[in-house]
Homo-oligomer: A and B are copies of this chain.
Amino acid sequence: MQPFDQVTIVGVGLLGGSVALAMRERSLAKQIVGVGRDTAKLQALVDRGMLDRATIHLSGGVKDSDLVVVCTPVDTVTPSVLEAIDSAPDNCLFTDVGSTKAEIVERITSEGGDGACRFVPAHPLAGNHRGGAEFAKADLFVGRTVVLTPDESTDPEATERVGDLWKSLGAHIVALKPDEHDAALAMTSHLPHVVASALAAATPDGILELAATGWRDTTRVAAGDAGLWRQIFLANRSQVLTALNKFDQHLDAIRDAIEAEDGPELERLLAEGKRIRDALGN
């Protein structure tokens, strides 16, 4: 695709840093600007060559950009996009990497004025429980899914251009409505985190030496940042609670079969979980 003249990454952590590295490697931006909160850390990323320049002022960082990628924690996506719309040129495109979408889209559509139609909401399924720009890599999005959630107010050309960008970074695109995205991700991402966290918390420290690969795998995501996940769960509150209720029904069924010593029913339930897990592969 045609390179952007200036791309601004707002929030240069694992995802923002990886967008910068990936665009750099593919020559998709003539100039990459980073916006963050910590001058020293930003300077280190400039020194490393990830960014061409950096600033702690969002408005200054976006004023000559033709693409702004907002990679902040979920709670600050909306204010960051709104501020970027205010300060960026009239033809600038906006996208984000937020793990929830409905709340963000609703607020930006209603408060973003004329620029809102150039915001193409995105969610790359490429997170990691280890955050931070130090884990960023140019191939983070290769082979991953990026969900786009434009609505009827989104400029179709903007959607196409932002979709092309994510595809250029190696991802494949799935388009969903914001609500559909949030319901699906509540099940495939947020619920696993709730469950992993409760499982880890329920385990007494003293028996950790008896934890084998099963416990390790099942609890791995519980190592994610508590502050970030708090934001995600609250931003997608009703869908997460719905997913939890659905999980509870399946858990209760297994519990009932164990309690009743109903071997055939227990095996049937376990086989159903196995069938769905096997459908995904390792």
Contacts and interface: CB of A to CB of B under 8 A. Distances in A.
B215 A202 contact: no
Contact of A197 (B205, B244, B274, B282): B274
A142 interface: no
Size category of the A interface is 35 or more
A246 B198 CA distance: 9
B201 A276 contact: yes
Max chain B C-beta neighbours (<10 A), residue from A187, A191, A268: A187
B147 A210 contact: yes
Interface string A217-240: 111111111110110011001001
A266 B259 CA distance: 31
Nearest to A196: B218
B213 A273 contact: no
Interface stretch (A18-26, A109-117, A120-128): A120-128
Please state the number of chain copies in the assembly. 2
A256 B230 CA distance: 13
A175 interface: no
Given A188-B210, A203-B187, A280-B208, A267 B218 contact: no
Nearest to A268: B226
A188 B211 contact: yes
Nearest to A266: B230
Contacts of A263: 230, 234
Given A197-B273, A220-B217, A255 B244 contact: yes
Nearest to A229: B270
A261 B222 CA distance: 20
A144 interface: yes
B196 A273 contact: yes
Given A234-B263, A263-B234, A267-B226, A274 B212 contact: no
A247 interface: yes
A217 B217 contact: yes
A185 interface: yes
A174 B276 contact: no
Given A209-B145, A212-B127, A280-B216, A200 B273 contact: yes
B126 A212 contact: yes
A102 interface: no
Given A192-B215, A192-B219, A211-B188, A202 B277 contact: no
A91 to B, nearest CB: 32
A46 interface: no
Contacts of A198: 247, 250-251, 253-254, 273
A152 interface: no
Contact of A241 (B126, B195, B210, B258): B258
